[in-house]
Amino acid sequence: MSGTKDDKAIPITVEFSGGLEMLFSNQRKHQLSIPTKDEAGSPSNIAYLVKYLCENVLKDPRKDLFILDGSVRPGILVLVNDADWELEGEDKYEIQRNDNILFVSTLHGG
Amino acid sequence: MPPTPCAICRTNRALILRPKDHSKLCKECFINVFETEIHHTVTTNNLFNRGEKIAIGASGGKDSTVLASVLKTLNERYDYGVELILLSIDEGIKGYRDDSLETVKRNAKQYDMPLTILGYDELYGWTMDQVVEQVGKKGNCTYCGVFRRQALDRGAVRLGVKHVVTGHNADDVAETVLMNLLRGDLPRLSRTTSIVTSTPSASNDPNSHTNIKRSKPLKYAYEKEIVLYAHHKNLDYFSTECIYSPEAFRGSARALIKNLERVRPSAILDVVRSGEDMAKLVPGADESCGGACSSQVPAAEEEEGGCGSSNGRNAGGKMASMEAHLAQNEVAAENGLEIEITMNGVNGQRHNRQDGGTASVVNGKKGRAKGQAFTPRKAPKQQVMGQCKRCGYLSSQEICKACVLLESLNKNRPKNHIEVSSHMQEETNGEVHNVTRG
Ligand SMILES: [Zn+2]
Ligand SMILES: [Zn+2]
């Protein structure tokens, strides 16, 4: 990642709730710019975003509370612009400019 | 992907994929369907009586917040004519409850419901922080769960309320079903799957806290939908994990439920229904009331583990209290039925009523049980309901679990008392517990 950041990056909002914010510096809303393409040159999708979050944003050592076997842990809901990601192609969904991606845990105390 | 239209109104964009039937709904239709289903649960099970005062066990978490919001909505929409109040328990874990109690206080204003907060210290003379200081972090969830179970009932009595509703959801019930199957505890299976568990009065005292009715209006609601409902209705809830049981989910029955849901979302309700079916076949279970009225397992001893939430969702807590139950059952088992006999009864019929898949999980465990795994374990013996000699709480034992735990806690306290009474006079203002140990 170098040079002209603007056309090489997609601005998005990533939110964590339901207890997940605790893993992400206790911050619910994160404004991020993620690369437009993944390492293989394919458009960045949610699978890539999750990996990106783990490498760049998730500082808590308990990464397994967020990902399990390389994908979002069962019990964590993913909403893409308020829609269940299962309606949007799950982790294959290609991220668009200004998307809002919400990860909400159902696992924490009720 | 082009936006999918809502399956009901066919106009708005679908945002929700329902786990139970894969239908795709817009926000408004989802909210409406979710509420209508809870209404259906309430009416078909006759959960409420007009004029009844009902306490909602409120933790500020998603389940009880959604429960309060939905019940308020339904009470107004369908004119149930019930009086709803909020009852919160403060376990006394510094920093842990502060935020959730603040949430409950906001909820009380938002839903215009009176709120009572009751502390473990008030009820038992011990905060959870003090318990942990005494027993360490291991196993403290057992205390928390046992104390909590009675706390809501005791609180209800103080408020003159005979009915407590809790936010237990389908995932909670499915988890309990699996846990009870794993340990072969069928009598308890019948109790934990029933939507109403009233504790028949063991005393003639009208103020006794043993005849409180408990119900779970969200019993058939998926946890996923509860979270989505809270999200789309913008409800104000608080989530945290109990600081005394980190990473409690690893390898738990809860994790299993969530994995099943990922593979086959309807599995959760299938497990719940299977649990109900099996419960009906448990000898001694009273079918007419779903096992609620005269089950041999007193509600006082019902497993409702869990630190933190009023739901006791915490798997670590459940595991811990499960161990405690197991040990106790073992002792009480001398005259018990062979679980194998019971299991055969269950195996004999009924099970394929639904669409099979349920099934695979449950059948797996069952098959094993039939073979050998459960044979050595005996079912808990027919328990005789009585009152705890210490506190009067309904219990199958002479001394109820809370009192047993309290006794062991208090045993380790005399040292402090002696110090206080002899040469530490100047400290007597502080809490006895805080006096430095010798
Ligand atoms: Zn619609
Ligand atoms: Zn007692």
Contact A62 B16 (CB under 8 A): no
Residue partners of B161: CB distance under 8 A and separation at least 6: B53, B54, B55, B85, B87, B212
Percent of chain A whose pLDDT exceeds 70: 91
Q: How many angstroms separate the CA atoms of B306 and B160, rounded?
A: 26
Of the listed ligands, the closest to the CA of B31 is: 1
DSSP, residue by residue, B184-200: T-HHHHHHHH-SEEE--
CA gap B191, B198 in Å, rounded: 10
Rounded to two decimals, the ipTM of the complex is: 0.92
More confident residue, B348 or B244: B244
B289-302 average pLDDT score? 38
- Which ligand is in closest contact with the Cα of B387? 2
pLDDT band at B389 (very low <50, low <70, confident <90, very high): confident
Give the pLDDT of residue B350. 40
Residue A72 located in a structural domain: yes
Three-state secondary structure readout of B327-373 = HHHHHHCCCCCEHHHHHHHHHHCCHHHCCCCHHHHHHHHHHHHHHCC
**What's the pLDDT at B297?**
36
Cross-chain residue pair B311–A87, CB shorter than 8 Å: no
The token pair that represents B316 in the structure block? 């670590």
Mean pLDDT, residues B314-318 taken together: 40
List residues in chain A touching B: CB distance below 8 A.
17-19, 22, 62, 64-65, 73-75, 77, 79, 82-84, 86-89, 93, 102, 104-110
Are B341 and B329 contacting, i.e. CB atoms less than 8 angstroms apart? no
Nearest to A19 by CA among B301, B136, B249: B249
Stretch A12-24: mean pLDDT: 91
Q: Most confidently modeled of B41-50, B202-211, B391-400?
A: B41-50
Phi, psi of B123 (to 5 degrees): -85, -35
Tell me the mean pLDDT in the region B265-277.
90
Q: Among B111-120, B275-284, B383-392, B401-410, which stretch is predicted with the lowest mean pLDDT?
A: B383-392
- Mean pLDDT for the stretch of residues B98-114: 92
Question: How many Å apart are CA B155 and CA B337, to the nearest integer?
Answer: 36
pLDDT greater than 60 at residue B313: no
CB contact under 8 A, A109 and B15: no
Give A44-86 pLDDT, tens digit per residue: 999 999 999 999 999 888 888 888 888 898 889 999 999 999 9
pTM (2 d.p.): 0.75
The answer, yes or no, to whether residue B69 has pLDDT greater than 70, is yes
Burial class (CB in 10 A: 0-12, 13-18, 19+), A7: exposed
Long-range (24+ apart) CB contacts under 8 A made by B396-402 are B396/B297, B396/B298, B396/B300, B396/B301, B396/B332, B397/B301, B397/B328, B400/B150, B400/B300, B400/B301, B401/B146, B401/B300, B401/B301, B401/B324, B401/B328, B402/B124, B402/B146, B402/B147, B402/B149, B402/B150
**Block residue for tokens 């994990």:** B241
Tell me the pLDDT band of B19, cut-offs 50, 70 and 90: very high
Whether A98 shows a pLDDT value over 90: the answer reads yes
**pLDDT tens digit sequence for B86-99:** 999 998 887 777 88
Fold classified for B27-299: Rossmann fold (3.40.50)
* Per-residue pLDDT at A89: 92
Res B436 pLDDT > 60: no
Residue B81 contacts by C-beta under 8 Å, 6 or more apart in sequence? Answer: B50, B51, B75
pLDDT on residue B88:
94
Which residue(s) pair with B92 in the sheet? none
Where do we find the tokens 């088992």?
B333
Residue B18 Cα, ligand 1 centroid: separation in angstroms? 13
Looking from the CA of B282 toward its CB, the CA atoms found within 13 Å total 33
Average pLDDT over chain A, rounded to whole? 88
Residue A110 lies in a domain: no
Predicted local confidence at residue B24, as pLDDT: 97
Tell me which of B129 and B114 has the higher pLDDT: B114
- Asked which of B179-183, B238-242, B254-258, B361-365 is least confident by mean pLDDT, the reply is B361-365
Mean residue pLDDT across chain B: 72
Chosen for mutation from A22, A79, A84, A86 (greatest number of chain B CBs closer than 10 Å) is A84
DSSP annotation string for B176-238: HHHHHHHTT-HHHHHHHH-SEEE---SSS-TT-TT--EEE-TTTTS-HHHHHHHHHHTT----
Distance CA B267, CA B260 (A): 6
Which residue would you say has higher pLDDT here, B379 or A95?
A95
Distance from CA of B334 to the nearest CA of A (A): 37
DSSP string, B34-60: HHHHHHHHHHHTT---TT-EEEEE--S
In CATH, what number is assigned to the domain containing residue A60?
3.10.20.30
pLDDT band at B32 (very low <50, low <70, confident <90, very high): very high
Over residues B201-216, the pLDDT tens digits come to: 444 454 555 578 899 9
In sequence order, which ranges of B78-169 are alpha helices (DSSP H)? 97-110, 120-124, 128-135, 140-158
The pLDDT of residue B210 is: 58
Higher pLDDT, residue B254 or A94: A94
Total domains present in chain A:
1
Residue B321 has pLDDT above 60, yes or no: no
DSSP state, residue A45: B
Residue in B with minimal Cα distance to A75: B258
Q: Which residues contact B93 (CB under 8 A, 6 or more apart)?
A: B127, B128, B129, B242, B243, B244, B307
Residues 6+ away with beta carbon under 8 Å from B418: none
Q: Mean per-residue pLDDT for B130-137? A: 82
The pLDDT value given to residue B198: 66
Distance between CA atoms of residues B94 and B6, nearest Å: 46
Q: Are B200 and B293 in contact (CB under 8 A)?
A: yes
Select the highest-mean-pLDDT range: A79-88, B152-161, B374-383, B391-400. Answer: A79-88
Give CA–CA dist B390/B398, Å, rounded: 9
Compare B386 and B382 and report the one with higher pLDDT.
B386
Contact A109 B313 (CB under 8 A): yes
* Tokens standing for residue B259: 């994995």
Q: What mean pLDDT do residues B374-397 have?
A: 62
Q: How many CB atoms lie within 10 A of CB A3?
A: 7
* Closest-CA distance of chain B to residue A81, Å: 9
| Nearest one of B29, B62, B69, B67 to B47, comparing CA atoms | B67
Q: Which of the four pLDDT bands, split at 50, 70 and 90, describes residue B82?
A: very high
Task: Outline which parts of chain B fall under CATH 3.40.50.620.
Answer: 27-299
**Closest-CA residue to B39 (of B218, B194, B270):** B218
Residues of B whose CB is below 8 A from A88: 1
Average pLDDT of the residues in B12-31 = 96
- Supply angle C-alpha B75, B76, B79, rounded to 5: 70
Report the C-alpha gap between A109 and B14 in whole angstroms.
Answer: 28
Chain centre distance of CA B270: 19
Q: How close A9 gets to chain B, by Cα (Å)?
A: 22
Amino acid at position A47, single letter: A
In this structure, which amino acid lies at residue B296? Q
Rounded to a whole number of angstroms, the distance from the CA of B319 to the nearest CA of chain A is: 16
Long-range interactions of B5-13: CB distance < 8 A, separation 24+: B8/B33, B13/A83
- Least confident range from B20-29, B293-302, B321-330: namely B293-302
What is the extent of the structural domain holding A43?
5-105
C-alpha span between A14 and A16 (Å, rounded): 7
Q: Do B223 and A89 touch (CB under 8 A)?
A: no
The verdict on a CB contact (< 8 Å) between A22 and B240 is yes
- Report how far Cα A26 is from the mean position of its chain's Cα atoms: 16
Give the gap in angstroms from C-alpha B249 to the nearest C-alpha of chain A: 8
Q: Do A88 and B62 touch (CB under 8 A)?
A: no
Which of B17, B59, B226 lies nearest to residue A109, judging by beta carbons?
A: B59
Q: Which pLDDT score is estimated for B318? A: 43
**If you average pLDDT over residues B161-174, what whole number do you get?**
92
